[in-house]
Chains A and B, each alone.
Chain A
Amino acid sequence: MLLRGIVSAPLPSTLSLKASARPSQNASLSFSISDQELESRGFSLRRSIADLNLDHLNSVFVAVGFPKRDTEKIRVALENTESVQWVEYRKTQRPVAFARATGDGVFNAIIWDVVVDPSFQGIGLGKAVMERLLEELLGKGITNIGLYSEPRVLGFYRPLGFVADPDGIRGMVYSRKRNNKF
C-alpha cells in the first residue's frame, strides 16, 4: 500500500493510488509503525475528540509555537472537523500528537494543526497520525488533499507523498493587513 515507504518524488499518474483502493484487513501492517507497535510503546491511537482534553491539546499547540487560542473556539473547530487523529501517551493520559482535516466530505480536504509534543518528536508519531489521517480520507474517496506547510517541515511532508506547488498551483492566504483591516 502506498502509505508505507519513502517516496521522494510524486508517482507517475499511472501508478497513483486509486481512491477506491481499500486498505487490506491488516491495514495497520501497511503503516510505517503499526498500531500494535505504538500500543506496546505506551501510545494509544485515537480518532474521537470525546476524550480529548482541549487544554492539554492547547498546551501542545503552544509548545510547538502556535499562538494560544481560545479553548472553546478549539472545541467548535473540532466539532466541525471531518477527521481527527491523535496519539495519547497512556502514562500521562495526555495528547502528544495530533492532526485534523476539514473539507466537503467528497472532493477536497485540507489538513491542519499537525503537531507533536516536542518531548515526543523524532520517534514517528507525526508520521503515524498523518498516515492514518490520509488512510481515512482516501477511504472516503477524497483524493484532493492539501495542506499549508511551514518551510522547515516540507521535508516531513514530502516522504508522505505531498508535493509543493504542483503544476504551479500556489497556496494563498487573505491578508487583512494588506487591506487595512485589523
Chain B
Amino acid sequence: MLDICIFVTSVLFFPARRKLKVCQTRASFWESIRSGFLKNNTTQVIEPPSTNQEEEEPLPEEFVLVEKTLADGAIEQIIFSSGGDVDVYDLQALCDKVGWPRRPLSKLSAALKNSYMVATLHSLRKSPGEERNEQKKLIGMARATSDHAFNATIWDVLVDPSYQGQGLGKALVEKTIRALLQRDIGNITLFADSQVVEFYRNLGFEPDPEGIKGMFWHPRY
C-alpha cells in the first residue's frame, strides 16, 4: 500500500481553530500523478505537462485534466474549469470535508460572485453501460480576487481529502496561474500558511521577494 502524504492546499488566512496537520509531498507534479497508480488502476493523463511554448496557447475554460479507468470498469474524469460555476452548497460541503469553520452561505455566495476568477475541479464518474448516469462532484476549488489590471490574490485553495496526494492541488493552482497570466494580470500573490510555503515555492511563488513582507491587520491567532 503506497503511503501517500496528504497535503492541504490552504492559503486562506483563518483563525487558529482551523489548524490542520499536514506533511509535505516533495514529488514533482508528474511523479505524484504516477504515484496515483495503485493496484489495478489505469490512469491516463490527458493534459500534458505545460512547456513554455504551450503556455502561449489559450487555456480552454474547461478541460479534462485526468482520466482513469477504475477497478469496476467505471471511468472517472477530473475536470478543470475556470468558469466559476460552483454550487455554494457543494462548496460548503467541501469546506466541511477539509475541516474549515462554517461560513454563512450568503457570504460564501457573495465572495464567489465578487471573485475575479473561480477555478474548480470536478470528478465526473461514468459507470460502464450507464453513460446517461453521470455523477459529478466538486472536489477542488481555488479563487482569486483582482483589480482586473495589475494584481490578483489567490485565496481558498482546497482539495477534497480523498483526492489529495495525486497532484491535483498543484494542477489546480498551476492552471489558475496560467489563466490569470493569460488575462494579463502581472502580479499574482497569495498568503501561505507556513506548512504550504514549500508547495507554492515549487509552483513558482517566492516568499518575501526583495524583503517585501505580508502583513495582516490585528490577526486573531
Contact = CB atoms under 8 A, between A and B. Distances in A.
A62 interface: no
Contacts of B215: 146-149, 154, 157, 162-166, 171
A2 to B, nearest CB: 8
Contacts of A106: 107, 110-111, 114
Nearest to A147: B215
A23 B147 CA distance: 28
Contacts of B197: 170, 172
B206 A80 contact: no
Interface string A121-146: 00000000000001000000001111
A45 B16 CA distance: 37
A172 B206 contact: yes
Contact of A149 (B55, B115, B187, B212): B212
A161 B210 CA distance: 23
A148 B205 contact: no
Contacts, number: 194
A179 interface: yes
Q: Is the contact region of chain B dominated by helix, strand, or loop, or is it mixed? A: mixed
Interface residues of B, number: 55
A115 B148 CA distance: 20
B80 interface: no
**Chain A interface residue count: which class?**
35 or more
A77 B150 contact: yes
Interface stretch (A27-35, A52-60, A97-105): A97-105
B189 A77 contact: no
A160 to B, nearest CB: 8
Nearest to B155: A108
Given A69-B150, A73-B150, A164-B214, A172 B145 contact: no
Interface of A: 2, 10-11, 13, 16-17, 69, 73-74, 76-81, 100, 102-108, 110, 112, 134, 143-151, 154, 157, 160-176, 178-181
Interface of B: 12-13, 16, 52, 55, 103, 107, 110-112, 114-116, 143, 145-151, 153, 155, 177, 181, 187-194, 197, 200-201, 203-221
List the 7 closest A-B pairs by CB distance, nearest first: A171-B214, A168-B194, A77-B149, A166-B219, A174-B188, A172-B205, A151-B211
